[in-house]
A and B are shown apart, each in its own frame.
Chain A
Amino acid sequence: MKMPLWLKRQGWLLDLAILILAVLAALAVGAVLLLMAGTNPLVAYKPLFLGAFSSRYGLTETLVKAVPLMLVGLGIVIAYRGGVLNIGGEGQIILGAVACAWVALTFSQLPGFLLAPLVLLAGIAAGAAWGLVPGVLKATVGANEVLITIMMNNIAFLLLTYLIRGPMIDPQEIAYGTGYPQSALIPASTWMLRLIPQSRLHLGLIIAVVCAALVYVFMWQTTLGYRIRVVGVNPRAARYAGIRVAQNMIVAMALSGGLAGLAGAIEVTGVHHRLLDGISAGYGFTGIVVALFARLHPAGVVPAAFFFAALLVGADMMQRTVGIPSSLVVAIEGLVVIFVVSSEIFALRKER
């Protein structure tokens, strides 16, 4: 795989201009669609853009949603830089959440200072294992990782559905006859510290930002990170240089899955305190948009995650206040992706 041309640095001003144009173009298309459906786009867009900033709740929820987006986005950056396109964030988040909740419920007798880090590690390990499968298949037999990660998302989703309705269902729910599909509450000793009282904002935000710094250091200051990047840019040259291509691809995918698994574990320990349906809520897909938007750079992932988290919160507000389905944001995300990758041609033309 050749280094994608749109990744070549052309000065941050031009980069930013392309991103802003992509968002504006996506919004313009969205506006036309809304008009065709008989809705005033201005009515829809006001809560979409201001919702996240109009209240304390909106602001803290934006930060809460930015955490998983940041972690998944960072993972996708590592994988893509290593030549693998990881669409499996959704499944890796689910597996991370499942492992985290399972360890927390099974070893609930352990002291908190042991259990709290243990559940996060369990999440990382499960996510990494889920990412390892497509990584190994891509590296060894050249199987299409996009298709495999998508199948694994579906499998993870079904596994979650099974667990929270079957083996992991809350005994309390059964006792009171509600049978609501969710697990029992995990022990309070594993709950993440809340940063602001009366909000869901938790310690995970700091963890995610630290991870961004760590990913930067890893990718640009360590030998392993360098090897992964070389494999991503030019596997043939990497092989000549004596770099084990398959091995590095697998490591990149495992790290990528591990970060998504951590995101899942943090969703459990920081936000819901239990395993439930929709624990991933599309973060795996929005994480792809975040990573692309950040031009596959960890430093860009942080602001990009905030931007898309604000859009998600705004979409909720839009649905509640003016009744426009939040699927609008998924469509806009799709258009942003398309417009960002399509800008490759401008880099091409400039080069000649």
Chain B
Amino acid sequence: MGTTLFSQGFIIGVLATGVRLAAPFLFAGLGEVFAERSGVLNLGVDGIMLMGAFIGFWAAYTLGSPWMGLLAAAIVGALMGLFMALISVHLQANQGIAGIGLQLLGWGLSGLLFRLTFGAVTGVRGFPAIEIPGLSHLPFIGPVLFRQNILVYLAISLVPVSAFVLFRTTLGLKIRAVGENPEAADTLGVSVYGIRYLCVMLGGILAGIAGAFLTIGQMNMFVDNITSGRGFIAIALVCFGRWHPYGVLVGALLFSVLDALQMWIQVIGAPIPYEFLVMLPYVLTIVVLATAVGRARGPLALSKPYTRGER
């Protein structure tokens, strides 16, 4: 087994799977970066992902195109983001608890609708892998980076785009101002509520797509609670990545490569019970939260509802 672990085929397999598994963390994590940078802690990401996973699956199945699935997942994500924004921005609810509510809603609803519409496990045609001409045959990095499906390329390219928007545009400046000091932003004429709605909805859209990735970009089927807590890991990765898109990229890759390693070790039949391998990412998340977060500082107004005229 020792030789298998270090063979080139094994390493390429782990890394290629790892890059693919990073996509849902990237979509959901980047969305959460926007929401949290604007001051809203959306703990309901996993619930939105579950709805995106189901709706994406359902639309891809009934309309016969994974693109329709992706669109439907983005729409349902936007709607759930709108709902979360309404609760946390206008109704000023406790964001921690509201997020748990959203999670329960997404979990229950996706399970309910799946059983009412399909009733059993069904397969769907998802996004095929696209080989980038010229690059996909490069040794080592070819199979790792350039034989993925379109959503993986989209997820990775969203990282620099998000960083650019957040740190190089006026909109990004407004988002960060609203998250750090909403009173000052308001005084300068920035619409605090507007920015927060925008960011939470954008986070919802990306979470919906992250969910759809699981059903139409990876597993090509839906099962109850298909995210198994990936949404929460994505939120943890935002802390780990210090609310920065590139930080989230590093965290997502670290995690997904570990997750891929766990899967591949199961495949080659290591003498470790698989439950302990599956536990690894969760244990790592706790270690990450316990060590990285203590030193980093999130946006100052994070999870604090803002009321106009309150000083």
Contact = CB atoms under 8 A, between A and B. Distances in A.
B292 to A, nearest CB: 9
Interface in B55-105: 87, 90-94, 96-105
Interface of A is mostly: helix
Contacts of B273: 162, 166
Given A147-B232, A334-B102, A328 B108 contact: yes
A337 B283 contact: no
B229 A151 contact: yes
Contacts of A154: 228-229, 279, 282
Interface in A112-150: 133, 137, 141-144, 146-148, 150
A82 to B, nearest CB: 14
Contacts of B104: 285, 289, 330-331, 333-334, 337
Interface string A150-161: 111011001101
Nearest to A153: B229
Nearest to B307: A348
A330 B108 contact: yes
A80 to B, nearest CB: 9
A331 B286 contact: no
A143 B293 contact: yes
Contacts of A342: 87, 91, 93, 98
Interface string B95-138: 01111111111111111110111000000000000000000000
A146 B290 contact: no
B305 to A, nearest CB: 9
B235 interface: yes
A151 B285 contact: yes
A288 interface: yes
Given A292-B97, A325-B115, A338-B87, A143 B289 contact: yes
Q: How large is the interface on B (under 10, 10 to 19, 20 to 34, 35 or more residues)?
A: 35 or more
Among the interface residues B47, B87, B106, B286, which one has the most CB atoms of the partner chain A within 10 A? B286
B289 A148 contact: yes
B290 A341 contact: no
Contacts of B96: 85, 146
A162 B276 contact: yes
B189 interface: no
B239 interface: yes
B87 A341 contact: yes
Contacts of B47: 334
Given A141-B293, A151-B285, A345-B90, 11 more contacts: A4-B94, A141-B290, A143-B293, A147-B232, A150-B229, A151-B229, A151-B233, A154-B228, A158-B275, A327-B107, A334-B107
Interface of A: 4, 33, 37-39, 85, 87, 133, 137, 141-144, 146-148, 150-152, 154-155, 158-159, 161-162, 166, 285, 288-289, 292, 324-325, 327-338, 341-342, 344-345, 348
11 contacts: A33-B112, A141-B293, A147-B239, A151-B282, A151-B289, A152-B282, A334-B103, A334-B105, A334-B109, A344-B92, A348-B307
Interface of B: 43, 47, 87, 90-94, 96-113, 115-117, 224, 228-229, 232-233, 235-236, 239, 273, 275-276, 278-279, 282-283, 285-286, 289-291, 293-294, 307
